[in-house]
Every structure is written in structure tokens, then in C-alpha cells.
Structure 1
């Protein structure tokens, strides 16, 4: 079979022939891969920087996709915890980490949207008790996952969505996706943090895709401007685009009803993720979430890897024919 193969973490994947994997367990099956998304998480997997990396090489990247089982059924699957990912003509999946997709669903759309949508969907349904009409601040709303989070928060009942990010073009587009308030993080970091505090002091939940300096700086303004500091603010750490570490002011934990939790692999069980897949797939397939995928042949991975798609597009690799 053909696959995108990483043989060194210092360089991107190459399109080459690779031995077709063979299922070995009772719950395993060989699937024909129809679509696999190039997510930010995949890039971290391919350069060995993600916290789940095992440093095993050679590596076929790709953490999820849509595949066809031997009986013809189409499924969305999360790749197994091996070096055999979804960027290949075929891959071995664990059937327990897959769900059927409806006949009307577009495999490319599902592959584009599931991973960036999953973080906020699972967080708001599994990591926090979001009350009807909740108000949410999304830090890093101009990233792929952040853009999906804006839409998902509205879909799940948010009465107010406040979106903060650096990319001015994407920030402007977020009002069409459901953002009620947008806040620019460009320029001086402390001034940006103050703007966040002034715009989102009534938030109940923060979905944080940035962490690092933006998170640490925003906490005090966000909490001290609140009219009712006794009302709980739950800060949920999801991504770390701005840095793996953040300086958390001690006053933030004392001056208001404030809690910090995380959401990701480990804090939510695999069974918890799997239980959310059907409803999320139906929302995507039903046109309730906008993903704007662009399909590319897997054979083009070397040029696509070094030339990211436009700001509003999500790359999905598909078979050559």
C-alpha cells in the first residue's frame, strides 16, 4: 500500500510504499481509508512533540479518519495507539474505537470536522455542567478548534459567546459562526488581557486553547472586573498553542470563585469520547457545523505539509483515485 511515512522527527512525512498491516486481535479490522484530516494534533504527532508521543519510528501519522470496512460499512475511527496512523491507503483499526456514519454523511466533511470539534463538544458535555444559557469565553478562537468551539457553544445552548484571538481575518469571520463578542489579542499582551477582562467578565466558562502567557495575564482582569465574584468561573485548559506552561497568579485562586481543570486524553475516558461521537457526527452531517474542508490526494502530502491551506480551510487527505 502507499502511505505517508515519517522516518525522522526532523523532517515531514514522505509518500512511499509501505507494508500493508495485518489485523491481529479479535477487535481489529483492516479498513480502506477514505478520508483523514490534517489536524494540528497530527503535526505534533509527526514531529514527536505531542505529549502522547512514544518516539517510535517509522511512523504513519494520522489520528483519525473515515474508512470502509470489508463488509462495506463506513465508519469514523480513532487510530490505534501504534505507529500505524490513518495517512495511508489502508490501516488497522480497533472496532471498539469506531462508530458507523450515516449513509448521507460526506466522509471528507466528517474527517475535517470531527477532531477540531471534538475538544469543545466533549468538554462542554463531559467536563463541566454547562447550565442553560451559559456564557463562554473562547481563548484562541481563531484556530481551527476555536472556530468550531464558537459554533458548538451556540449549538449546545450558550446565550453569549465571547471569542478572543490574534488572527484579525478569522476574528471578523467569527460573528457569522455565532460569536456575540470578539476580542483581539494582537499587540501588547497586557493590554490584550485587559480587553479580555472587560469583554468577558460575565463568563461562566473559559475554553482555553492557548495557555502560556495569554492565559496567565487574562486571569486577574477577568476575575477582578466581575460584578459577582462568588459566581463560579470554570477555566478549562484544552490546548497550549501559546506555551506549555502558564504562570497562575495566586490571587486569582483566592479573589473569586474560580477553578481550573483540563480536558483531553486521560481526563475523559475513551468510552466517554466514543459515547459522544454519534451525536457529534449527526450534527456535522446535518450541516449544523461549518468545517470548509479541502480534499487533497495523499500523494501530495509533501507539498501540502509545507504549505498550509488558507485560513478558512481544513485539509483532508483522500485516496489517489
Structure 2
């Protein structure tokens, strides 16, 4: 079969031929139609993600959309066999890792919305336990995942959504999808101004202005947001911080012991292992229902499998690339 194949550790995949997988035990063959070229897929393929396990050669791809060989059932799948991932004409997947897709949700949209939708839903529902009327701050909101998180936060009942990111113009555009407040930052020479703006939001509602922080960036912007808490938060008011990614490229930051003692800040992450595989898959199923009903706004474009080398080399998070196996 045709597939994107990683021949050696750390090397980008190349378009080529590889033996097709065979169903065995609880694993079925899925005829893949579309698979998102996500950051998670790239990191797992390069060996830089904490969940990377594959031995070369292998077909990368964390998740995708297709039909089950034999039955023809249209499904979303994740956690495929390490050797036969989603970026090939066929993938080998455990039956427990399949979920149905609404008929009125097309393959490319389903593939593009699945991973960012999963991260947003799991972080807000299963980690932060969002309640109706709460205020959610989304750091790194201008990316595909952040933009989707805004829409899902509103769907989950958030009373107010605060969007933070570097690009002021792109932030302004997020008001059309549900952002109530936007705060742009330039941490090179505008850190104090950013902290002041975030502190003002914490002070809202009697110093109970922010309930949940969903963070796609980490790094300096996270430090600035957390540094805005002391003196601006009511005693005992819980703020649930959930890290979802490290798009800023800084995997570690210092956290003051005084901050932890002087506030009801709760620090956690959301991802593989902090949330069970079954829960992540069920989160995606819920996102699919919302996506089909609301026609969620996701920036995505499709590319053919034969162009995987060029697509893999593309930088930036937008538009989200979806590989189609035509």
C-alpha cells in the first residue's frame, strides 16, 4: 500500500510502498480516507513526544478517519498500531479505539477537528470540570486549537472567554467566534502591560474574575499570567490552570512557592496518560456532535498523500493540514 514512511529515527517521512497490515485479535484494518498532520503526529514521529514508541520503519499518524475493512463502517480512530499509523492507505487499530462519525460531518472536517477538539474538551470537562457561567482564559488562542477552544468553551457554558496571544489583529478576529476579551502581549518590552491587563481580569467579580486557564503556549506568557495572581485573587477562589501544549517552545518555567501557598491555584495538565484513552476518545465523539450541529469554524486544507514530504516541512499551525489518501 502507499504510505508516509519514516525510515530512520528523527527523519521526515517519505511517500512510498509498504506491506499492508493484517487484522489480528481485537485489531481491525481501517481504510483511511483522511488524517490530520498534527503537532502530536510530528512529535511522536520524531521521537520528541513523551508517548513516542515506534521502531523504524513505520507509518506515523496518531488519528484519522476511514472505513472498517469488511463492514464499511465509517469511523474515527486513534492510537493505531505503532507500525501502521494513520498516514497510509490502511491503518491497524484496536476496536476499542474506534468512534462513529455523524453522517453530516465530512471526512476532512472530522479529521481536522478531532485532535484540537479532544484537547479542548478533555482539558475543560475532564480536568478543569468547567461549570456554567465560569470565566475561561485561553492562552495561545489564535492557533487552530485555541480558536476551537473558544467555541467549545461557549458551548460548555462559559460565561466569559478571555483570549490571549501575540497577534493583536488575529485576536480581534476571535471575537466573531466567541471571545469576549482579547489581550495581546509583547513580552520583549511589554510584559508589565500584559501583567496589568491580566491582573485587571483577575480582579473582576470581587477578585474572582478568572476560574480556568487553558494554556497552549507555556513559557514566558504563562509566567506572566501566573505572576498576575498574587494580590488579585479572593481568598480560597479556585483557579484551575491546565497545560495543554508547549507551542512557545519553552518546556520548563519557575513557579514561586509563595504563589502556591498564597492562592487556591490548582496546576494540572491534560493529554495522554493524564486522561484515559477511552475518555479522550469519548471527548472526540462529543466534539463531533457539536461540530456537526454548529458547523464549528476550523482553518483546514487538504493535501494528497503523495505530497507528504512538502506538507511535513510546512511551518506554522494554520491552516491545519489534512492528508487525504486519494
TM-score normalized with structure 2 length = 0.91
Instruction: Answer yes or no: is the 8 Å Cα contact 1:77–1:98 preserved in 2.
Output: yes
Instruction: Answer yes or no: is the 8 Å Cα contact 1:220–1:251 preserved in 2.
Output: no
Distance 2:243 2:136 in 1: 13
CA gap of 1:278–1:176, structure 2 versus 1, over 3 A, is same
Structure 1 position 251, deviation (Å): 1.8
Deviates more, 1:161-170 or 1:56-65: 161-170
1:1-44 CA-partner distances (Å, limit 9, x unpaired): 0000112344321100111111221x211111011001111121
Stretches of structure 1 that go unaligned for 5 or more consecutive residues are none
Describe how 1:32-71 pairs up with structure 2 within 5 A: 32-54=31-53, 56-69=55-68, 70-71=70-71
Q: Give the match's secondary structure for 1:305.
A: helix
The answer for the alignment partner of 2:283 in structure 1 is: 276
Q: Give the match's secondary structure for 2:294.
A: coil
1:208-238 CA-partner distances (Å, limit 9, x unpaired): 1122232223212134323x24211111121
Describe how 1:102-141 pairs up with structure 2 within 5 A: 102-141=102-141
Describe how 1:157-168 pairs up with structure 2 within 5 A: 157-168=157-168
CA gap of 1:24–1:310, structure 2 versus 1, over 3 A, is closer
Structure 1 position 196, deviation (Å): 2.8
Structure 1 position 138, deviation (Å): 0.7
Instruction: Return the match for 1:196 from 184, 198, 206.
Output: 198
Instruction: Answer yes or no: is the 8 Å Cα contact 1:75–1:99 preserved in 2.
Output: yes
Distance 1:156 1:232 in 2: 19
Instruction: Return the match for 2:229 from 208, 215, 222.
Output: 222
Asked if residue 172 in structure 1 is aligned to residue 179 in structure 2, the reply is no
1:97-125 CA-partner distances (Å, limit 9, x unpaired): 11111222201100000101111111222
Asked if residue 285 in structure 1 is aligned to residue 292 in structure 2, the reply is yes
Asked if residue 186 in structure 1 is aligned to residue 193 in structure 2, the reply is no
CA gap of 1:185–1:168, structure 2 versus 1, over 3 A, is same
Stretches of structure 2 that go unaligned for 5 or more consecutive residues are 204-208
Instruction: Answer yes or no: is the 8 Å Cα contact 2:81–2:92 preserved in 1.
Output: no
Distance 1:147 1:260 in 2: 23
Distance 2:215 2:4 in 1: 31
Structure 1 position 187, deviation (Å): 3.8
Q: Give the match's secondary structure for 2:28.
A: strand
Number of equivalenced pairs: 317
Structure 1 position 314, deviation (Å): 1.4
TM-score normalized with structure 1 length = 0.92
Instruction: Answer yes or no: is the 8 Å Cα contact 1:135–1:161 preserved in 2.
Output: yes
Distance 1:35 1:124 in 2: 27
Structure 1 position 50, deviation (Å): 0.7
Instruction: Return the match for 1:296 from 274, 298, 303.
Output: 303
CA gap of 1:263–1:292, structure 2 versus 1, over 3 A, is same
The answer for the alignment partner of 1:6 in structure 2 is: 6
Structure 1 position 309, deviation (Å): 7.0
Instruction: Answer yes or no: is the 8 Å Cα contact 2:81–2:93 preserved in 1.
Output: no
Q: Give the match's secondary structure for 2:271.
A: coil
Q: Give the match's secondary structure for 1:222.
A: coil
Describe how 1:79-98 pairs up with structure 2 within 5 A: 79-98=79-98
Asked if residue 231 in structure 1 is aligned to residue 250 in structure 2, the reply is no
Instruction: Answer yes or no: is the 8 Å Cα contact 1:164–1:196 preserved in 2.
Output: no
Q: Give the match's secondary structure for 1:224.
A: coil
Distance 1:305 1:56 in 2: 19
Instruction: Answer yes or no: is the 8 Å Cα contact 2:36–2:323 preserved in 1.
Output: yes
Distance 1:266 1:247 in 2: 24
Structure 1 position 280, deviation (Å): 1.4
